[in-house]
Each structure stands twice: as C-alpha cells, then as structure tokens.
Amino acid sequence: MNMKSLKFYQENQTGFLVLNRPPKNEMDAVFFSELSHFLKNVLPDLTLKGLIVTGEGRHFSSGANIAELGEFARKKELRYFENNINYLESLSLCSFPVIAIINGLCFGSAFELALACHYRIASYHALFSLPEITFNLMPGCGGAYFLPKLIGKSSAIDLILSGRSVLADEALQLGIIDIIADKKNITETALQLIDKLNSVYGQYYENPVN
C-alpha cells in the first residue's frame, strides 16, 4: 500500500512507523484509514522486537484536522471516533515494546497516539496538550481512557479540562513520559530501551503500563 500520511521501514527487527506529513503531520481521516490498514494487514505479518512511532521533521504531530473533527462531531458520527479508539487500543496490545519518540508538538490525537504506546521518550522541547476543550470538544481517541490510567484521575482531569500545554520536564514529573533525551540521541535511547526490554522479558514481554 502506498501510504500518504504514514511510512514504515524496518531495521534489525525494529520497525519504524513515521507520521509523514510534515511540518505538522496532521492526523485526518486518511491517516486513520492508513493506520487501520497497517495495524490489520501489515503489522501481524512482521517479526519485530520493537516498534518505534515518531514524526517526520520537527514535530511528532499537531493532532487532528480540527475542521474535519468538528464536522464528524456535529454529524454525531460516533463510529469514526470508536474506530479510532480501537485502532490505538490495538497498538497498545502489541506483544513487543512500542515506543513513541516525541519531538516538538504532540497535541490532541497525537498525544492520544503517544499514550497508546508502551513508553514515551521525548526531546527537551517537546510540548504536550489535549486542547480539544478549547474547540468545545473532548478527547475522542482514547485520551480520557489512557491518561487517567497513566497519571491518575486528578492530573488527567486538569489537563483535559484546561487544555493547557506541558513541556517535557513537567510531562516527566507527571509521568506522561518515561525519558527525556537529547534530540540527537533520542533514537539510540529508544533502541537501547527495546534491547533492554527484550533482554529482560524476551518473548514474554507484556505492556507494563497500559
């Protein structure tokens, strides 16, 4: 499949799933259709020791196309949101480590995608937000499910209802991310974590967070 919003490649049994519409790497209906195809028809046939999810260019992703998202909400097309939640949940259920590498913006649906990964490694200038409340919406791709499990109800409610942004240092303190790394070393940090997890857990690896 020739994907417009994603690209995938593999190096030494580690897969790289890259959001590939720079500079914002926006996540629209085309993106979720391609993600669905990848998760259902490509990923099950791969032999991987880990999967890294990241964004092309300066940003992980600015999140959903707000106009499109609002239109789905206005028409009450709940199946769209349900399907997207299911796609992200299936990613969280992978039997090998799934690690998000986050540079720059990680907003809305992109934040929810990162939350569906088992671990999150961010650069020092990464910025996280669930801004849907500022558009009279609520997180529609599992943020209200994943975030409280990760950082507790009180902190999750604060982020969801305020829509405020947090930098990497606060995200680490809250427990949103696991590691902060220099941008030039961030991929190597993720690869080392995958090797460590495989060494410890091997084929019995289970998602320890979500």
pLDDT tens across the length of the chain (210 residues)? 578 999 999 999 999 999 999 999 999 999 999 999 999 999 999 999 999 999 999 999 999 888 887 777 777 777 877 888 888 889 999 999 999 999 999 999 999 999 999 999 999 999 999 998 988 878 878 888 899 999 999 999 999 999 999 999 999 999 999 999 999 999 999 999 999 999 887 654 554 444
**Which fold does the domain 6-204 belong to in CATH?**
2-enoyl-CoA Hydratase; Chain A, domain 1 (3.90.226)
Which pair of structure tokens corresponds to residue 123?
């650069």
Taking the C-alpha atoms of residue 206 and residue 186, their distance in angstroms, rounded to an integer, is 23
Question: Which residues lie across from 180 on neighbouring strands?
Answer: 122
Q: What are the residue ranges spanned by the domains of the chain? A: 6-204
Cα 179 from chain centroid (whole Å): 15
Question: Per this entry, what is the length of the chain?
Answer: 210
Taking the C-alpha atoms of residue 114 and residue 7, their distance in angstroms, rounded to an integer, is 17
Q: What DSSP line would sit under 33-91, residue for residue?
A: HHHHHIIIIIGGG---SEEEEEESTT-SB--B-HHHHHHHHHTT-HHHHHHHHHHHHHH
Q: Is this prediction's pTM over 0.75? A: yes
